[in-house]
Amino acid sequence: MGFQENLLSIIIFLPLLGVLFGAFINKDNKSAIKWFTLIVSLIEFIVSLFLVIHFDSSSVGMQFTEKYTWIPVYNIDYRIGIDGLSLLLILLTTFLTPLVLLGSWTYIKKREKEYYLWFLVLETGMIGVFASLDLILFYVFWEAMLIPMYIIIGVWGGPRRIYAAVKFFIYTMFGSLLMLVAIIYLYFAYGAQTGTYTFDLLKLYNLSLPLSTQIWLFAAFALSFAIKVPIFPFHTWLPDAHVEAPTGGSVILAGVLLKMGTYGYMRLAMPLFPIAANAFLPYLAVLAIIGIIYGALVAMMQPDIKKLVAYSSVSHLGLVILGLMALNIESVDGAVLQMINHGLSTGALFMLVGMLYERRHTRELSEFGGIAKTMPVFATIFMIATLSSIGLPGLNGFIGEFLILIGSFFARPIYAVFAGTGVILGAVYMLRTYQKVFWGKITNKANEDLKDLSAREIIVMIPILIMIVWIGVYPKPFLNIIHNASESYIQYVKPQAAPIHDQQSTVPQMPERLK
């Protein structure tokens, strides 16, 4: 055991450790809880930066791998490791969590202690998902992370929070349970083919099943992730969940949880079943494109800002999926980067909407108007987030969108022709919103003496803005990290590509009695 060897495990379980200690803080000592959780999450972020320092972006394959036997009966191991994709998503998680915690300080007014501790639990779950290399471990984190989110929406959410929470939970579970069946099936199929039973993802990549089998397994995985992403038409839980969730919940939901779906496609569904993936690819691409346009059109007409941003997420994530389906380096690089971008820009938007809600207790567009006058700083930051969201060059959103679109154009021009309309529609609904909220004369008395952002709120937003500009201006470090991950993804999925064999030579034997 050492810091370096177990760095990833430390990062996964540090927040949970924080929860254990935090549980002993008196629940009436609110500021102690706030500071404690904030500091834990900040330490977590700092520790996660060590990942970047020690990350070798030139090497292919998983890094920081750790393996401990967990359930030997099934050859289920505690097997973790990351590549560029996971690294960025983990960083996104550790980056957003402290901001969300800090951002919630005045928003959450009941049962604070539970709220902040649940967030730390959630953080462990999310990082675990991104780091797992064993399918069962992955599944455990995948589901375990639903619970904190369920509670966060259900306890601190809006008026229809219970409906939204239950819908979120059951809908997601529905998909993932089918995935569980597929995982188990895969395990036995691999065992039958090679004589080795394992849930090791990297080994399972090499499994070649006939198309007829792959189709079903892929469908199970794809459905599960499609619900999570969400891909049209599995998206309806999202607006409900977003509208009802408290700000912090929305930010994490949009920023990280949705990425698990796209991550799932990239890490599991597509490379595990390349033949089926190629068969399904055009359909998924079409669904993604429908999602882009549909999400944007529906977002355009929403009267509730949060719902609008939620539908815009449907649109943006459609773009990410399209990037993954286009199967070339540009589009996949773009898709991964866009995952991060969406986390930042939509996260920022939700955060901002939350700040507004805190002041006015409404999110109806018609209630606002002209508040750029009373809240200039807020208006400026919102504008930057808006521009990032609509992919203005120079900000992060553009790099991702551009790479995805150009890549999908390379793959099939018609994809980009349709997906590109999202560029227009995105501007339409975001600017319409911006105008309705910030511009015009103040018509509503309640808006006349709104307070501009407090120092704390500005501190919450600044890191996000820095990232937004940084990725837009100098995306190269990020692209470097992503590069090998997307290359191996393509190699796994592309039909003609030769399978990559991993270097690990230890072949665990299935215990005799299970055969």
CB 86, min distance to another protein, A:
19
Among 215, 245, 329, 464, binds another protein (CB under 8 A): 329
**What is the C-alpha to C-alpha distance for residues 245 and 238, in angstroms, rounded to an integer?**
10
Min dist CB 513 to another protein, Å, is 6
Token pair 């920081």 is found at 64
Closest approach, Cβ 46 to another protein, in A, equals: 27
Q: Is 474 in the site for another protein (CB under 8 A)?
A: yes
- 337-366 residues in contact with another protein (CB under 8 A) are none
**47 exposed, middle or buried (CB, 10 Å; 0-12, 13-18, 19+)?**
middle
Find, among 214, 212, 228, 37, the residue nearest to 116 by Cα.
37
- Residue 273 is which amino acid? F
Q: Which is nearer to another protein, 96 or 201 (CB)?
A: 201
What DSSP line would sit under 111-177, residue for residue? -HHHHHHHHHHHHHHHHHHHHB-BHHHHHHHHHHTHHHHHHHHHHHS-TTHHHHHHHHHHHHHHHHH
The secondary structure of residue 257, as a DSSP letter, is I
Closest separation between CB of residue 301 and another protein, Å? 4
Site for another protein in 32-61 (CB under 8 A): none
378 binds another protein (CB under 8 A): no
The residue among 351, 343, 367 whose CA lies nearest residue 456 is 351
Greatest Cα-to-Cα distance within the chain, rounded to the nearest angstrom: 77
The nearest distance, CB 84 to another protein, in angstroms, is 13
Closer residue to another protein (CB): 43 or 431: 431
* Sites for another protein among residues 126-185 (CB under 8 A): 136, 139-140, 143-144, 146-147, 150-151, 154-155, 161-162, 165-167, 169-171, 173-174, 177-178, 180-181, 184-185
Q: Which of residues 286 and 392 has its CB atom nearest to another protein in the complex? A: 392
Q: Is 90 in the site for another protein (CB under 8 A)?
A: no
Give 392's contacts (C-beta < 8 A, 6+ positions apart). 398
> CB 207 → another protein: shortest distance, Å?
15
**CB 48: neighbour CB atoms within 10 A?**
23
Task: Kindly determine how many residues on this chain lie close enough to bind another protein according to the rule CB under 8 A.
Answer: 91
The smaller minimum CB distance to another protein, of residues 50 and 74, is found at: 74
d(CA 74, CA 61) in angstroms, rounded, equals 25
Site string for another protein, 275-314 (x = CB under 8 A): -------------------x--xx-xxx------------
CA distances in angstroms from 169 to 130, 175, 227, 471, listed in the order given: 20, 10, 11, 33
Phi, psi angle pair for 76, to nearest 5°: -85, 125
Question: 351: how many CB neighbours lie within 10 A of its CB?
Answer: 27
Residue type at 443 in one-letter notation: T
The minimum distance between CB 353 and another protein, in angstroms, equals 19
One of 214, 315, 328, 396 touching another protein (CB under 8 A)? 328
Choose between 49 and 162: whose C-beta lies nearer to another protein: 162
Whole-number minimum distance, CB 21 to another protein, in Å?
A: 16
Residues 176-235 that bind another protein (CB under 8 A): 177-178, 180-181, 184-185, 187-188, 233, 235
Kindly tell me the sign of the dihedral angle through the C-alpha atoms of 192, 197, 201, 205: negative
For the segment 65-84, give every residue that binds another protein (CB under 8 A).
70-74
> Is residue 392 a contact partner of residue 398, using CB atoms and an 8 Å limit?
yes
Q: How near is the Cβ of 102 to another protein at its closest, in Å?
A: 22
Q: Measured from the CB atom, is 32 or 300 closer to another protein?
A: 300
* Residue nearer to another protein on the CB measure, 51 or 145: 145
Rg of the chain in Å (alpha carbons): 22
- Among positions 409-448, residues that touch another protein (CB under 8 A) are 409-410, 413, 416-417, 420-421, 423-424, 427-428, 431-432, 435, 438-441
